[in-house]
A and B are shown apart, each in its own frame.
Chain A
């Protein structure tokens, strides 16, 4: 226990980044978008992720709403520092797989409160990290780490993460805008251990400035089932879930 308290902010965030995620994972993702008047919109996705060593491939099939059904999105991300993700989208109306730029990481994912960058694994070397304090929330002992981006143009001026000490899960995260004001709060509502691996099952992103919330729920999670490599190809983007 004494050794753990000597960890630096960078080491804590690296442990979160390197937390085992399994060789592959599939599951159903449901996002509920709730505006300030309480109106809800639902987005449903089936996703598959596979680790190929120095690269990770992800494919998502959009199920609802009806006008995006059969759209698919594929992302290949790399451990190599500085190498951008490769991304493609299949639009069923155009019947085309289009390569898209991964430069738009500040875009909101399907109109939710999550940006593409919020959903990805931000590399620890992109920020300077300071351990602020230790704190217990929801009965979990946490490290509280402030992360300040090295890139001044980044969409957040800083983030603060509450990381559970023995599980290396970011239980809560605050995002501050360019003026230093609190913009969003991410709260993990439920996490489970499947085949010895911690998986975040339910989380909630609340935009405090716009009073808008997105609930994200993962279900039917299957880990290490041996998803074939050809799941992450143009063939499957076009074929969909058939």
Chain B
């Protein structure tokens, strides 16, 4: 297996090197190698991660055609290396239309660190939200067409086969806590969405970039990244106690319409983003209902403000998810409110970068605080020291209260 991976990687390299020989002037190689080590502050200081990474960006362009390949290797001591292509696509540039075909990351919206209209690329949440955002977003095989008129763009995205978000492994410290009375058995037989034309996803966006305002208006017909978890219970006939629980995840269709904007106001950048989702299945705690799920529409929006104070760049966002026509058996809150806060500063001629980012969950009084300092020993070589501190006992962030960690990243870019 290991040999096959290395052979495949080698073939990609050799192929690209040969192309590079032919097209030496237009082939660009960039990338990085990185060591990432994290240690938990509790649990006898277990390592939360030891990871070595190689990431390459190989780009070739000639006239109206270009392509990019982004192979990566994650190596964990004692495990098989994890390899893949984050992106591998072909660009075709025409007068007013560009096409991008292949595996690609597609990012929409004006939000930072929050996914409202930015829902095209599936996410890699195997380490919760802690990875860098270019690593959280996975590539998805798509055909993307952009038509340009003036300062506006109309974009159409077709995803022939649904790719789901990657969740943490069941034994991972980042596996979300679920309250089941007994240990359930997972039945993944209905998890896959069949690869058919009817099951493809489609998205459209109209965007503009003007002096007064940047805007996006978008719509999508897609699959819900969060599968609906159907449960089957078996009771002991004598004690009537629950003795078997089967969970069957199944993805459901979602409709989406939304938009975003960004503008400047007396030195402030004001941002907003909102989306209306239809057909979401919310779990309930009712035993009397025919189905344990209720299909509801919901609204997810954000307002953000960016500003600079004493040469420190700051950004704050208020995010709300609101279930419409709410009914009490639904387990999720009718309104889920979150704040984010970001402060960044560059010192020593941009060789020292300090950053503090925080998610604050207002419903459960929980938070994730992420301070970090990055120092560039040279332009290519950087050292990063950071911490992830989880506060609270429950909620999206509080559930990881035992996972506070400090970490280092040593990175060489080329």
Closest to A230 in B: B148
A-B CB contact pairs (8 Å), 5 listed: A69-B28, A95-B105, A97-B209, A101-B269, A233-B209
Closest to A103 in B: B267
Closest to B65 in A: A242
Which residues in A have their C-beta under 8 angstroms from that of B107?
Answer: 94-96
User: Interface digits, A84-114 against B, CB 8 Å rule (1 contact, 0 not)?
Assistant: 1010100001111111111110111011100
Which residues in B have their C-beta under 8 angstroms from that of A239?
Answer: 93, 98
Complex Cα distance A103/B264, Å? 10
Which residues in A have their C-beta under 8 angstroms from that of B66?
Answer: 242
Closest to A35 in B: B349
Which residues in A have their C-beta under 8 angstroms from that of B115?
Answer: none
B222-279 residues at the A interface, CB under 8 angstroms:
262-264, 267-269
B361 to chain A, nearest CB (A): 24
Closest to B137 in A: A95
- A67 at the binding interface (Cβ < 8 Å): yes
Count of A interface residues, CB-CB < 8 Å = 39
B266-318 residues at the A interface, CB under 8 angstroms:
267-269, 306-308, 311, 313
Name the contact of A65 in the complex, choosing from B110, B308, B313, B413 (C-beta under 8 A): B413
B61, B98, B306, B350 — which one has the most chain A CB atoms within 10 A of its CB? B350
B24 to chain A, nearest CB (A): 16
A86 to chain B, nearest CB (A): 5
In the complex the two chains form, is A99's CB within 8 Å of B269's CB?
yes
Complex Cα distance A81/B82, Å? 57
Given A66-B414, A76-B211: A101 and B306 interface contact (C-beta under 8 Å)? yes
B: contact size bracket = 35 or more
Sample of 11 further A-B pairs with CB below 8 A, known A67-B380, A95-B105: A41-B379, A67-B379, A94-B107, A100-B306, A101-B268, A101-B307, A104-B308, A230-B148, A233-B151, A234-B209, A239-B93
Which residues in A have their C-beta under 8 angstroms from that of B93?
Answer: 239, 242
- B146 at the binding interface (Cβ < 8 Å): yes
Which residues in A have their C-beta under 8 angstroms from that of B127?
Answer: none
Which residues in A have their C-beta under 8 angstroms from that of B30?
Answer: 66, 69-70
Complex Cα distance A230/B94, Å? 13
In the complex the two chains form, is A65's CB within 8 Å of B380's CB?
yes
Closest to A233 in B: B151
- B133 at the binding interface (Cβ < 8 Å): yes
Complex Cα distance A107/B349, Å? 10
Interface residues of A (CB under 8 A from B): 33, 35, 41-42, 64-67, 69-70, 76, 84, 86, 88, 93-104, 106-108, 110-112, 212, 230, 233-235, 239, 242
- B132 at the binding interface (Cβ < 8 Å): yes
- B80 at the binding interface (Cβ < 8 Å): no
Q: Which 7 A-B pairs have the closest CB atoms?
A: A111-B350, A65-B379, A103-B267, A111-B349, A242-B61, A95-B107, A93-B134
B306-342 residues at the A interface, CB under 8 angstroms:
306-308, 311, 313
Closest to B307 in A: A101
In the complex the two chains form, is A108's CB within 8 Å of B350's CB?
yes
Complex Cα distance A108/B350, Å? 9
In the complex the two chains form, is B311's CB within 8 Å of A104's CB?
yes
Name the contact of A100 in the complex, choosing from B98, B269, B382 (C-beta under 8 A): B269
Complex Cα distance A167/B123, Å? 58
- B91 at the binding interface (Cβ < 8 Å): yes
Closest to B262 in A: A99
Which residues in B have their C-beta under 8 angstroms from that of A233?
Answer: 148, 151, 209
In the complex the two chains form, is A107's CB within 8 Å of B105's CB?
no
Closest to A107 in B: B311
Which residues in B have their C-beta under 8 angstroms from that of A41?
Answer: 378-379
Closest to B121 in A: A95
- B214 at the binding interface (Cβ < 8 Å): yes
Complex Cα distance A234/B210, Å? 10
Which residues in A have their C-beta under 8 angstroms from that of B350?
Answer: 108, 110-111
User: Interface digits, B97-127 against A, CB 8 Å rule (1 contact, 0 not)?
Assistant: 0100000011100100000000000000000
Complex Cα distance A69/B214, Å? 25
Which residues in A have their C-beta under 8 angstroms from that of B207?
Answer: 234
B73 to chain A, nearest CB (A): 18
In the complex the two chains form, is A104's CB within 8 Å of B313's CB?
yes
Complex Cα distance A9/B267, Å? 31
Closest to A69 in B: B30
Closest to B91 in A: A242
- B351 at the binding interface (Cβ < 8 Å): yes
In the complex the two chains form, is A94's CB within 8 Å of B134's CB?
yes
Closest to B106 in A: A95
Complex Cα distance A81/B110, Å? 30
Which residues in B have their C-beta under 8 angstroms from that of A242?
Answer: 59, 61, 66, 91, 93
- B83 at the binding interface (Cβ < 8 Å): no
Complex Cα distance A110/B379, Å? 11
